Structure 1
Amino acid sequence: MVSSPTFQVSLTHPTSQEELYLAEWVCGKPAVTGKIFGGQNAPDRRWPWQASLLYHGKHICGAALIDAYWVISAAHCFQKSHEPSDYQVLLGYHQLQHPTEHSRQMTVYRVIVHNDFNKRYYMGSDIALLQLHLSVNFTSHILPACLPGPTMKLPLHSSCWITGWGMITEDGEVGIIDSEVCKMYFQSPDSSSSEYSIHEDMFCAGDLMTGKSICRGDSGGPLVCKLNGGTWFLMGLSSWSQACHYPIGPSVFTRLTYFSHWISEKRSTLPNPDPSFAPSQDKPPVLSDFSSLGTVHKPSTCITLVSLQTFLLLLIFLRIL
């Protein structure tokens, strides 16, 4: 097998503007391409923006690198603590049990959880940013995903993938599910209740035919779509779903286009940390126990159970698409 050459791109103490330009130049272009079927283990360098969020040294959630200083994840992953020193970020891992010379463990300088998280409605504004103490050197194993602008559209038939270290799938291709169809799936037996509903800052995806869905350990992880001629854009963050067993229902993701201005504001107004004050960066750990502490939040069983008739209608609808 012929492997792609390793490269490295870095700037010494980049300014915020320089890091944005550099991230836009290299983002969304992994060294390895090609389809993976059936939720199989992802090949090395397939998803170089995939990150693991550690809480006190244990994997709790997925995350994604978006530029040299910033990582993005779901707000619900930070309900135990907002203290940056409680968290670390792993990059350049293909398997959490087997770090390589390409793996890095980064310390967190700042945790920014959206102020509206879970306030207006269930799991609303499920988004958080992490600023790292030190700039990440981009390599073929560590690259950012591209961020969409606020007006970027996501066609229903887009090629999108969810990745992570969950119980069932480590990566899998999923389809975007119409929000109105998704609302039917999470409809409460009490038609007047809308506690578990799909709002404008969310979207649904999944594969009800093959059972690809987000699972425990995938929380906060990326949903990326190949758009604009082959570039991978980070369109969603794994937010909540039904329990990860059959029958598999849609998964709900934080819609990043909705938060485009919020992300840009935080990145542009907060200065990069002084690297001289960064704590020592420890050797990338071997994680033998990475059962998630940040379980995907999901409605209770009595709410999410869908009638057989509704489930069949959903399957028919998806076959027609």
Structure 2
Amino acid sequence: MFIKCILLLSAISFLSAGRLPQPEERIIGGKNIEIEDAPWQVSLQFLGKHRCGGSIYSKDIIITAAHCRFAAGGVELGAEYFQVRVGSSLKDRDGSLINVKAIKSHEEYNNPKFANDVAVMRLSDFLAFSSKVQPIPLAKKNPLPGTLAMASGWGATKLISPDIDLIIQKHRDHLRSILIPIVPNCREFLEATDDNICVYSPGQSTCSSDSGGPLVVDQQLVGVASFASRLCHSSSAFAGIPSFRNWILNATKYI
């Protein structure tokens, strides 16, 4: 058991600290916002450190990306490793920390790569709603191309790439957001499926550790941050909530 724990922690350390940014995570070119501007936003914490974003759906359900609960080598991480911080624009303090009781990721996540990248989490305690903690309804249809959508998170705000093999990420502790238009398709990405919603604006993008965070139009959740270009300099792709709405509603009944 001891050796198993050491191997798991080693894999986790590589995934969360030492790895290069993957095409799933990315807020570049945004601005600081207060949690009251996005009270549905949560920080998904893994072993006490921010790992991904998420959105409040109900008093005890969080929606995030499926890939956020996997470590290097495809190791599936249990609920006992996770907490969520709610009600704070800072990822490492204030608000409330609540344990995750159970996780259900989409049964066909990663088939093909990055497909079905959505998961729901049940919290161990009910949230107390306030101006800083609020649920967000699920969108029933995809927004039209050109619609401005808001993405938010605590991801990298700058990447420095001296060469193709070395990327240095600069993160901030304060929640940030961008307003970015929906594009008609996701043709930039070979990994994209019909379930993805993509956004693009030069100099603006989600980035490392924004994964699982919300894409919002008209105060409705339309997407979950899934993947983007390697250097956070181009389009970003989200798991489209309208495509997964029925799955989410069903999953919350059995988690």
| TM-score, L = length of structure 2 | 0.77
Kindly provide the amino acid, as one letter, of the partner of residue 161 in structure 1.
M
In structure 2, distance between residues paired with 1:269 and 1:61: 23
Kindly provide the amino acid, as one letter, of the partner of residue 92 in structure 1.
G
Deviations 1:88-145 (A, max 9, x none): 011011122441xxx11111111101110002x1200000100011111100000011
- Superposition map of 1:257-268 within 5 A: 257-268=242-253
Q: CA deviation at 1:243?
A: 2.2
In structure 2, distance between residues paired with 1:160 and 1:139: 24
Match of 1:235 in 2: 222
Residue 144 of structure 1: SS of its match in structure 2? coil
Match of 1:136 among 101, 120, 127: 127
- Superposition map of 1:7-18 within 5 A: none
Deviations 1:152-185 (A, max 9, x none): 2411132211000011182100100111xx31x3
Q: 1:87 to 1:97 in 2, by over 3 A?
A: closer
In structure 2, distance between residues paired with 1:113 and 1:77: 10
In structure 1, distance between residues paired with 2:81 and 2:134: 24
CA contact (8 A) 2:65 2:224 kept: yes
Residue 66 of structure 1: SS of its match in structure 2? strand
Kindly provide the amino acid, as one letter, of the partner of residue 51 in structure 1.
V
Q: CA deviation at 1:262?
A: 0.7
Match of 1:82 in 2: 77
In structure 2, distance between residues paired with 1:197 and 1:167: 22
Q: 5+ unaligned residues in a row in structure 1: which ranges?
A: 1-37, 187-195, 227-231, 271-321
Match of 1:178 in 2: 184
Match of 1:158 in 2: 147
Percentage identity across aligned positions?
28
CA contact (8 A) 2:50 2:92 kept: no
Q: 1:114 to 1:44 in 2, by over 3 A?
A: closer
Match of 1:201 among 192, 195, 211: 195
Deviating more after overlay: 134-143 vs 153-162: 153-162
Greater gyration radius: 1
Runs of 4+ in 1 over 3 A off after TM superposition: none
In structure 2, distance between residues paired with 1:43 and 1:267: 29
Residue 71 of structure 1: SS of its match in structure 2? strand
In structure 1, distance between residues paired with 2:136 and 2:148: 15
Match of 1:215 among 201, 207, 222: 207
Match of 1:314 in 2: none
Residue 45 of structure 1: SS of its match in structure 2? helix
CA contact (8 A) 1:213 1:244 kept: no
Q: 1:98 to 1:63 in 2, by over 3 A?
A: same
- Superposition map of 1:1-321 within 5 A: 39-80=30-71, 81-99=76-94, 103-119=95-111, 121-149=112-140, 152-168=141-157, 170-179=176-185, 182-183=186-187, 185-186=188-189, 196-208=190-202, 211-226=203-218, 232-245=219-232, 248-270=233-255
Kindly provide the amino acid, as one letter, of the partner of residue 93 in structure 1.
S
Residue 139 of structure 1: SS of its match in structure 2? coil
Deviations 1:191-243 (A, max 9, x none): xxxxx3321111111212xx1111001011111111xxxxx000001100112
In structure 2, distance between residues paired with 1:172 and 1:82: 30
Kindly provide the amino acid, as one letter, of the partner of residue 157 in structure 1.
G
In structure 1, distance between residues paired with 2:132 and 2:100: 20
CA contact (8 A) 1:74 1:220 kept: yes
Root mean square deviation, CA, Å: 1.5
Q: How many residues matched?
A: 206
Q: Which has the higher contact order (CA 8 A, sep 6+)?
A: 2
Kindly provide the amino acid, as one letter, of the partner of residue 244 in structure 1.
L
Q: CA deviation at 1:148?
A: 1.7
CA contact (8 A) 1:207 1:213 kept: yes
